[in-house]
Copies of this chain bind each other. A is one copy, B any other.
Amino acid sequence: MSKVQEITIYDLAKELKVSVATISRALNNDPAVTTATRQRVSELAEKRGYRTNTLARGLRSQSTKTIGVIVPRLNSYFTSTVITGMQGIAYEEGYSLVVLQSFESKQKEIDGAKCLFRNRVDGLLVSLSYETDNLDHFQSFIQKDIPVILFDRGERGNSLTNVFIDNKKAAYEVTKHLLEQGCKRIAHITANSGLHVYADRYEGYKKALTEAGMTVKDKYVIKGDLGMEAGTATAHAILKMKQRPDAIFVANDNCAVGCIKALKQHGIRVPTDIAVAGFNNDPISIVIEPNLTTVDYQGHHMGEVAVTHLIDKLKGRTATESNSAILLPSSLIIRESSLKK
């Protein structure tokens, strides 16, 4: 198959005996051009198989129409849902998404940010890695007025827009529910990370305990990578405790599932002996037996909100301040894994 020649606005201009400026205007629906010519232009463009050269346009208009996204990992239901939500809006608005993974590594996140910066994304959407403890690597974006929005895993005390849920409140509700089930010794498995998301979940856990007149016991707060294997490992550690907890609140579903699997293998009855609750409402939570009590929040919606705010900024139609925190709703979903009664 021989290579077909690319059509440019010059070709169209020549054929219609008008100037390239007119073609350009017609193609961009500039009201200055008559409806008639606009019609003729778009017809010919279609007929000749013209496609705008985004490179040339971008070079001229100093924008790539590309949004960079950095996520810890692609392989979670939540993340893919978020991205799907972002994609829907982005494509409607004429933006492409370039998605990178940090694999929970700060260095990879920095590298990814650099890469996207070099590639001149118009904006950046980031969910931070476990290891991330500052936002210096986004400074180059800020200096060039490239908007950066954090979603799900953001940080406080910065000048960026954050889109997340009220993690403290959600964790508080989970813990309170566990207390209401009569649990007296509630362990908490969380990420080995300084991110506020996890600190907030811990705070919620603590608040519920405190309100119930209990105190947080350090040995009951266990940190790991929240993977399924980590769940299994932590369960083993818990089984070795002299005084075993009677409930475990895990900061994500995957890890909670690993935990339940291990507990069951060792003959522990869930929830009778130990109740378990997770976080995220991953589909896996209704596959594990007993089905997992968890916190649900809409990744799809979060993605839409984050990208909408970003595009609003890009198009200069923003109403929101930077430095604002956008809180999305979440809800406790109670299933068998926590029902002692």
Contact = CB atoms under 8 A, between A and B. Distances in A.
Interface of A: 1, 3-4, 6, 49, 51-56, 58-59, 64, 73-75, 77, 80-81, 83-84, 87, 91, 96-101, 115, 117-120, 140, 142-145, 228, 257, 261, 283-284, 287-289
Contacts of A83: 74
Q: By CB atoms of chain B within 10 A, which of A96, A115, A144 has the most?
A: A96
A51 B118 contact: yes
A120 B55 contact: yes
A296 to B, nearest CB: 16
Contact of A51 (B77, B120, B143, B257): B120
B101 A87 contact: yes
Contacts of A84: 74-75, 101
A258 to B, nearest CB: 9
A56 B287 CA distance: 51
Contact of A80 (B56, B59, B80, B96): B80
Given A75-B77, A120-B51, A283-B228, A1 B59 contact: no
Nearest to A75: B80
A3 B52 CA distance: 29
A144 B7 CA distance: 12
**How many copies of the shown chain assemble into the complex?**
2
Nearest to A97: B98
Given A80-B80, A119-B96, A3 B145 contact: yes
Contacts of A289: 289
Contacts of A100: 87
A55 B58 contact: yes
Nearest to A111: B91
A1 B96 contact: no
Nearest to A116: B96
B1 A143 contact: yes
B257 A53 contact: no
B74 A117 contact: no
A289 to B, nearest CB: 6
A37 to B, nearest CB: 22
B119 A54 contact: yes
A74 to B, nearest CB: 4
Given A96-B119, A115-B91, A144-B3, A59 B53 contact: yes
A52 B51 CA distance: 25
Given A75-B84, A101-B87, A4 B144 contact: yes
A1 to B, nearest CB: 6
Given A83-B74, A145-B3, A287-B284, A56 B53 contact: no
A103 B241 CA distance: 47
Given A228-B283, A287-B261, A120 B54 contact: yes
A49 B4 CA distance: 39
